[in-house]
Amino acid sequence: MPTTLRYALPILLGLAILCAVSYLLVSSTSRSWFEEDVRLRAELALRGARGAIAEAWGRGDRAALAALLTDITSDERILAAAACAPDGTTFARTADFPGAIGCRRFTSKSLGGSQPHIWNHAEGSVFLSALPVASPSGVALGVVGLIHDMSYVDQRDALTRKAALGLFGAMALGALLLTSGIARASWRRFRVELRSLIKGEPQRPEFHPLLQDVRELALQLAAETRTNERAWTPQRLRQVLHDHLQGERVIMVANREPYIHERDPNGGVRVLHPASGLVTALEPVMRACSGVWIAHGSGSADRESSDRHGRVRVPPGEESYTVRRIWLSREEEQGYYYGFANEGLWPLCHIAHARPSFREADYEHYRRVNQRFAETVCEEVDREDPIILVQDYHFALAPRLIRERLPRATILTFWHIPWPNAERFGICPFREELLEGLLGSSIVGFHVQGHCNNFLESVDRYLEARVDRERIAVVHGGETALVRPYPISIEWPNSWAQHAPPPAQCRAQVLEELGLDKDALLGVGVDRLDYTKGIEERLLAVEQLLLRFPQFRRRFAFVQLAAPSRTAIERYRELNDAVEQLASRINERFGYRAIILQRQHHEPPRVFQYLRAADLCYVSSLHDGMNLVAKEFIAARDDERGVLLLSQFTGAARELSEALIVNPYDLREASDALAAALTMSTREQAERMRALRALVSELNVYRWAGRMLTDAARLRQRDRLSHRLENGLSTIEGVA
């Protein structure tokens, strides 16, 4: 049924009922008016002749009476008359008085009393009235029965009916036209609003309360759903992909590859898992989703382990997705990775007191490598509107470059490190191009709201773009990029923790390996050797602990697993030396190996062994987007033992409030926290660890990926709808 008719039908029905009721009311009222009119006419007609009639009747003069009655019928609306005796016999009548009606009709009613009595009865198109007649002495003689012509009433009735029908028709037509007009206008308006809603344009003020209500309802529903939500697992993430993305492949761009093929000294090839928060988080997601991970092939045996396109199926032995390796020349790697990404953007984004260096030549390499990755994305996609995940600060330009080639792609860019405030970001000579590059994304994600805010401020300050604070989005060059916080996490249950030996066994092995007493107290730190991690501050805090709390000397040892990182950069080499010297100095000062520095790459099973063995884990980053080591420590402790000390400058500190949160620069506070951790009762440890484990298990990496992919799918759905509307192919339009 057409939409207009659907809306008009109830109105028409209402109109019809209204017309019918009005017609009945009007017609019954007018009929009673006509009858009253007739009755009065009858009375009038008789009033003048009543005396003569009574006299002729009293005399028994039928002929005179008939003549008098004929006089009365000279009124064109009185058809016939008769003088009816009380017993129903006809005493006199006009010539055309119909025998079929007869006097009995008029006398069947009681005529008692001297009062004139009028009896009315409508019969077809005639109306009967009876008026009593009495002799001058007051003896009832009978009634004069009159037959009135009512056909004119019927005619007027018919006319009224016609008029009512005509009126109804006119009103119905009017209502139809009006409804259709309103429906069309509303539909047009609705489409305009819908389109602007889809495009993310600002709404007309009168829509705001409605939108507000809808949003609140959606938030409420989402909150309710969340509380009833089942846990996020790889299966659930797969389900999300299946439900929202028809199970399509995810194309991901990330500099670091999840599996590195390295040639070992014996000529064999071994597979390494890089020390990288990004890999920790994204590898399980890719295993769950399948697809392609486009990365820099950095391993010495990567080429020989891949096909001629640089593709290799991973994880080794349980192949479920593809790594597509991009080969970079030494100059490209130097300029793009070490130069612009890690000597420019990395110190720019971290408040860790390292001066960023921006060299034009490095930026040129950065631009070219971004271009190459964007081209590879286009080789890997199999549809015009794919979902593409771009990871981290190595690829700020890639979203725009991909958008130029695939205008209908849904590009989700996640920035794994902090975003600085606008003033700091402003020192980058390429700031506008970097922002424009990122705004090629459909969604730009950060770990925390604070980084989203800094990004919006930077856009506001350096670009000709509109920051929509209501929707938290940037509208730039006719495109909209949403800006969202998605706090990253780890897989849960954690496969490394699940496959690790029991904590007691880990502890015994680690203590033995390190040459420590069985009752030694052990602290652990696990990081890439990076100046943002606050490793020096961490060691200084241990020094303070031993100074201020001598009872821990020779009992407490802190083992630092430090994976060498970016050693081609001088600042990292300096850090390496500084940490080594600091550890030696502290150890000398206290006369024992209080700091055990292990500067080498450790594979995850080894890392988890240490995490399970330790009494405490200290994450002392000076500035960190999230920090997943903190979450890995929690995952490792299924024995609900161990204490997490966490820098307040990590994204993780916003979530993990049951950790001992410290300012790593404040050595007194940090050493107090170390002492508190070492003396904490097992009960308190268990209570805190239980709460932390409950939180990380819920807010795991499948949820992180699931939320991002759901948002991406929703956005793509809107884009598809908007695309159809713009091409005039909207199926909805047909309904109207």
Footprint (CB under 6 A) of ligand F6P, residues 655-684: none
Nearer to ligand F6P, 392 or 543 (CB): 392
Q: Closest CB to ligand F6P among 78 and 260?
A: 260
CB of 521 to ligand F6P, least distance (A): 29
- Closest distance of CB 368 from ligand F6P, Å: 19
* Closest approach of ligand F6P to the CB of residue 631, in Å: 13
Which CB atom, from 281 or from 387, has the smaller least distance to ligand F6P?
281
- Do 596 and 554 touch, CB atoms closer than 8 A? no
Output 118 or 272, the one with its CB closest to ligand F6P: 272
Tell me whether the omega of the peptide bond preceding residue 315 falls within 30 degrees of 0, making it cis. yes
Alpha-carbon separation of residue 321 from 246, 269, 299, 301 (angstroms) = 17, 20, 19, 19
* Beta-carbon count within 10 A of 618 CB: 33
Interface with ligand F6P includes 392 (CB under 6 A)? yes
Return the number of the residue (255 or 480) whose C-beta is nearest ligand F6P. Answer: 255
Q: Residue 488 CB, nearest distance to ligand F6P (Å)?
A: 9
CB of 337 to ligand F6P, least distance (A): 7
Size of the site for ligand F6P (CB under 6 A): 11
Q: CA 89 to CA 57: how far, in whole Å?
A: 14
CB 567 → ligand F6P: shortest distance, Å? 11
Site residues (CB under 6 A) for ligand F6P, limited to 253-312? 255-256, 276-278
- For ligand F6P, the closer of residues 357 and 587 by Cβ is 357
Nearest CB to ligand F6P, comparing residues 94 and 280: 280
What residue type is assigned to position 615 of the chain? D
State the minimum distance, in angstroms, from the CB of residue 415 to ligand F6P.
9
Helices 535-548 and 570-590: crossing angle in degrees, nearest 10, is: 10
- Lay out the site mask for ligand F6P across 122-151 (x = CB under 6 A, - = otherwise): ------------------------------
**Should residue 416 be labelled a site residue for ligand F6P when binding is judged by CB under 6 A?**
yes
Question: Shortest approach of ligand F6P to residue 565 CB, angstroms?
Answer: 5
CB of 240 to ligand F6P, least distance (A): 23
Please, is 304 exposed, middle or buried when counting C-beta atoms within 10 Å of its C-beta (0-12, 13-18, 19+)? exposed
Angle 234-245/701-726 helices, nearest 10 degrees? 0
Least distance from ligand F6P to the Cβ atom of residue 190, Å: 45
For ligand F6P, the closer CB: 276 or 700: 276
User: Which of 323, 348, 417, 516 is close enough to bind ligand F6P by CB under 6 A?
Assistant: 417
Question: What span, in angstroms and rounded, lies between the C-alpha atoms of 263 and 249?
Answer: 31
x/- string (CB under 6 A) for ligand F6P, residues 612-641? -------------x----------------
Q: Is 31 in the site for ligand F6P (CB under 6 A)?
A: no
Residue 6, SS3 per DSSP = helix
Which are the contacts of 304, defined by CB distance < 8 A and separation ≥ 6?
261, 269
Residues numbered 481 to 510 that lie near ligand F6P (CB under 6 A) are none
- Give whichever of 256 and 367 is closer to ligand F6P, judged by the CB atom: 256
Using CA atoms, how far apart are residues 342 and 355, in angstroms rounded to an integer?
Answer: 11
Measured in degrees and rounded to the nearest 5, phi and psi for residue 253 equal: -115, 120
3-state DSSP helix/strand/coil percent for the chain, to nearest 5? Answer: 55, 15, 30
Radius of gyration of the chain (CA): 48
Residue 565 touches ligand F6P, criterion: CB under 6 A: yes
C-beta neighbour count of 691 within 10 angstroms: 15
Q: Does 396 bind ligand F6P (CB under 6 A)?
A: no
Cα–Cα distances (Å) from 154 to 25, 28, 39, 160, 515, in that order, read: 15, 12, 17, 10, 121
Position 537 contacts ligand F6P (CB under 6 A): no
How do 126-134 and 119-123 pair as beta strands? antiparallel
Closest C-alpha among 14, 4, 1, 2 to residue 176: 4
Question: Which residue, 176 or 254, is less far from ligand F6P as judged by CB?
Answer: 254
Q: How many CB atoms lie within 10 A of CB 414?
A: 26
CA atoms of 711 and 725, how far apart (whole Å): 21
Residue 349 Cβ vs ligand F6P, minimum distance, rounded to whole Å: 9
Based on CB atoms, which residue is closest to ligand F6P, 420 or 625? 625
- Tallying the residues shown for the chain, one arrives at 736
- Please tell me what DSSP assigns to residue 440: T
Q: How far is the CB of 392 from ligand F6P (least distance, A)?
A: 5
Nearer to ligand F6P, 565 or 620 (CB): 565
CA separation (Å) from 160 to 19, 151, 296, 422, 476? 12, 14, 90, 80, 67
Question: What sign results for the dihedral spanned by CA atoms 161, 167, 172, 173?
Answer: positive
Beta bridge partners of 388: 251, 411
Quote the CA–CA distance of 270 and 391 in Å, as a whole number: 26
Is 447 a binding residue for ligand F6P by CB under 6 A? The answer is: no
Between 412 and 417, name the residue whose CB sits nearer to ligand F6P: 417
Nearer to ligand F6P, 91 or 704 (CB): 704
Shorter beta-carbon distance to ligand F6P: residue 145 or 277: 277
Looking at the DSSP bridge assignments, the partners of residue 209 are none
Q: Judge whether 397 and 433 are in contact, CB under 8 Å.
A: yes
Q: Which residue number has the CB closest to ligand F6P?
A: 278
C-alpha 685/C-alpha 20 separation (Å) is 82
Closest CA to 348 of 285, 475, 435: 435
Nearest distance from C-beta of residue 279 to ligand F6P, angstroms: 7
User: CB 580 → ligand F6P: shortest distance, Å?
Assistant: 20
Q: Which of 345, 439 has the CB closer to ligand F6P?
A: 345
Q: How far is the CB of 296 from ligand F6P (least distance, A)?
A: 9
Q: Please state the closest distance from residue 428 (CB atom) to ligand F6P, in A.
A: 17
Going through 66-165 in order, the beta strands assigned E by DSSP cover 78-84, 90-93, 119-123, 126-134, 140-149
List of residues contacting ligand F6P (CB under 6 A):
255-256, 276-278, 392, 416-417, 565-566, 625
